[in-house]
Homo-oligomer: A and B are copies of this chain.
Amino acid sequence: MTQNTAETQTAFTVPEEVQSAVNAMADDARAASRVLATAHRSRKDRALHRIAEAIDSHRETILRSNAQDVERGREKGLAENLLDRLSLDHERIDGLISALQSLAAQTDPVGQVIDGQTLPNGLRVEQLRVPLGVVGAIYEARPNVTVDIAGLAIKSGNAAMLRGGSAASKTNTTLVGIIRDAMYGAGFPVDSVQSVDEFGRDGANALMQARGRVDVLIPRGGHNLIQSVVNNARVPVIETGEGNVHVYLDSTAEAKTATPLVVNSKIHRPSACNSAETLLIREGAPAAREVLAGLLKENVRLHVDERAAELAGGYSERVVAAEPGDWEAESLALEMSVKVVDSLEAALDHIQRYSTGHTEAVITNDLRVADEFVARVDSAAVMVNASTRFTDGGELGLGAEVGISTQKLHARGPMGMAQLTSTQWVVRGEGQIRG
């Protein structure tokens, strides 16, 4: 759980000229959003296809800009995994294009009637999905997010204001330019999609301060980026992504089910927020030794308490004593903390203390354990005998994903396009008044 006191609040000021410029851009985005809000689905889908085609026909320009960013990143000593995220190639550009195409194939959330009735006085009441208006995003050097968020915003009838991280600035400038041209070609205002990258960090800060002008701000990235936005924004924020994910291995779990589940939860993509970080083993669980052997076989390093050390075959290079910080950290690597607990209660206590509220899983064949676990775990997603890696918009059938919310308001868990909408009550009558 995030723990902040008044003292930790960062005060910062945005140069007035930057704030004015970003406010004016947001006002242009608002005007564009009004056009997008009432555009029929077919027009929005046409724009998405046009952007996809434009990206396809500008591959060389995109790759050239990207090469400059990567080269500069390398000179500045950017870590290999960050360089990898930053890099585009033809295959990744194919991915951008097909993401836009599948977005076009998805149902339009705008105009969906989510509730409605005719009241006793004859009033016909409907609650409809409507776009939020202006969606802001602050993210780190991942050019694919530029295309993803722009596409999701357009399809859901919103204008987008992007701050994409200075390490990817050349690539993002090229991509945003292509998107704006394609929007113009499709008959939409160019200011449907804008970048505040030219203002550097001040641009991000100005977005955070643009209350009443930006309807929601989505930070995507690491812990520091997200916390900085959450702590400083005066615009509503949707907090995404941090996952200190737990798996509880009950004594009724069979090794043949449990081993692949724990291994998949850990190793399928260790850098993802829905990957498992801690394994809690019920004392005496017969599957324990086989599960730990399965993890070791996949080169996972185990950070164990004393009882778990014994189950893992004793301390070694790959079986190290857990330190207090291990229970809190999201390793995002082939590392797993392992603890033996005396009861379900003790497991729930541990989870309550250390969870970031993303995903927790139970592996059990005991119905009461499953029910108790589901009822008492307060996280966005709870898995019963399923891999934690299923906490994902695509996997849960939501289509393209905006991010995974770890907060409780507005959206929780994987966010699809519906989470980029608000609702509006429409009430139709024939002159009804209130008595």
Contacts and interface: CB of A to CB of B under 8 A. Distances in A.
A164 B164 CA distance: 43
Contacts of A431: 257, 260-261, 385-386
Contacts of A425: 380-382, 391, 396, 412-414
Contacts of A423: 412-413
Interface in A302-321: none
A343 interface: no
B427 A382 contact: yes
Interface in A1-41: 1-7, 9, 11-14, 16, 19, 23, 34, 37-38
Contacts of A342: none
B422 A408 contact: yes
B396 A125 contact: yes
A427 B386 contact: yes
B4 A212 contact: yes
Given A379-B424, A385-B430, A432-B386, A6 B34 contact: no
A54 interface: no
Interface stretch (A42-50, A81-89, A331-339, A370-378): A370-378
Interface residues of A, number: 84
Contacts of A433: 260-261, 264-265, 268, 386-387, 389
Contact of A434 (B264, B384, B409): B264
A412 B397 contact: no
A407 B37 CA distance: 17
B4 A385 contact: no
Contacts of A106: none
A286 interface: no
B6 A19 contact: yes
Nearest to A9: B234
Contact of A130 (B7, B206, B378, B430): B378
A271 interface: no
Interface in A355-402: 370, 374-376, 378-387, 389-391, 395-397
Contacts of A265: 433
A64 interface: no
A5 B209 contact: yes
Nearest to A265: B433
Given A132-B409, A413-B425, 9 more contacts: A1-B212, A6-B13, A6-B14, A236-B236, A381-B424, A382-B427, A384-B426, A409-B410, A410-B410
The 8 closest A-B pairs by CB, nearest first: A386-B429, A264-B433, A408-B422, A2-B212, A410-B410, A257-B431, A389-B434, A381-B425
